[in-house]
Amino acid sequence: MPDTSLSGQPLKADTFDRSFQVAEMSNWRISPELSAGLKQSLSNTTVDQERPDNEREFLAYVTRPIPKYTRHKIAAILRPRQLWEGTVVECQNGSFVARVIDRTEPSNTDELVTFELDEVSPEDKKLVQPGASFYWTIGVERSPAGQIQNIDRVMFRRLPGWRASSVRDAEREAGSIAELLFSE
């Protein structure tokens, strides 16, 4: 049994996503006029799987519908406009300074940026130490319910702790190197 649109017409594969969103909107009991308008506007939109270059395509991308078969598995969809990788350099009272590397446009200069500790989620605050690594994202997040939100988020990486065996291995390797290179 093929999927059908609201009007009952069979869906082409490439219009499945767009029609799904309209159907989803209809379930929220929005007016038939708005539903029709959305259907019209979305049917004129190209959804690109690559990161889009311009604002119109970007918005189309983040508002694209979630296919039915994956929807229940996804908590939220985050589309970064800009992504940095940061390393904490200095902790101050209520804030911290980090060196950030632009991962969206790597040719940009690195920057030192000051963040407020309140921008970090409570469970991540204990991770804020010199040398700790995080991702800083400015972008758009779509909730499972379809709400769109501009976000500016700092998420710390939870790297594994050092094992005693790793430290022992490093000491042994250092001994071999010292023997090889520094003993003569």
**By CB under 8 A, residue 170 contacts another protein:** yes
Instruction: Single out the residue of 46, 68, 72, 69 nearest to residue 59, CA to CA.
Output: 46
- Contact residue for another protein among 107, 122, 145, 147 (CB under 8 A): 107
Q: How buried is 44 (Cβ within 10 angstroms: 0-12 exposed, 13-18 middle, 19+ buried)?
A: exposed
Between CA 158 and CA 132 the distance in angstroms is: 9
**By CB under 8 A, residue 138 contacts another protein:** yes
Interface stretch with another protein, choices 29-37, 40-48, 66-74, 109-117 (CB under 8 A): 109-117
If the CB atoms of residues 20 and 156 are measured against another protein, the closer one turns out to be 156
**By CB under 8 A, residue 48 contacts another protein:** no
If the CB atoms of residues 7 and 107 are measured against another protein, the closer one turns out to be 107
**By CB under 8 A, residue 133 contacts another protein:** yes
Q: Is 94 left (phi over 0), alpha (psi -120 to 50) or beta?
A: left
**By CB under 8 A, residue 94 contacts another protein:** no
- Contact residue for another protein among 12, 110, 118, 121 (CB under 8 A): 110
If the CB atoms of residues 23 and 101 are measured against another protein, the closer one turns out to be 101
Amino acid at 37: G
Read off the tokens for 11: 């869906």
Between CA 120 and CA 107 the distance in angstroms is: 27
Interface stretch with another protein, choices 6-14, 17-25, 141-149, 166-174 (CB under 8 A): 166-174
Quickly list DSSP for 36-63.
HHHHHHHHTPPPPSSPPSSHHHHHHHHT
Between CA 80 and CA 57 the distance in angstroms is: 13
- Contact residue for another protein among 108, 121, 143, 149 (CB under 8 A): 108
In the complex, the residues that contact another protein under the rule CB under 8 A are 55, 81-82, 87-89, 99, 102, 105-114, 127, 129-133, 138, 150, 152, 158-164, 166-167, 169-171, 173-175, 177-178, 180-182, 184
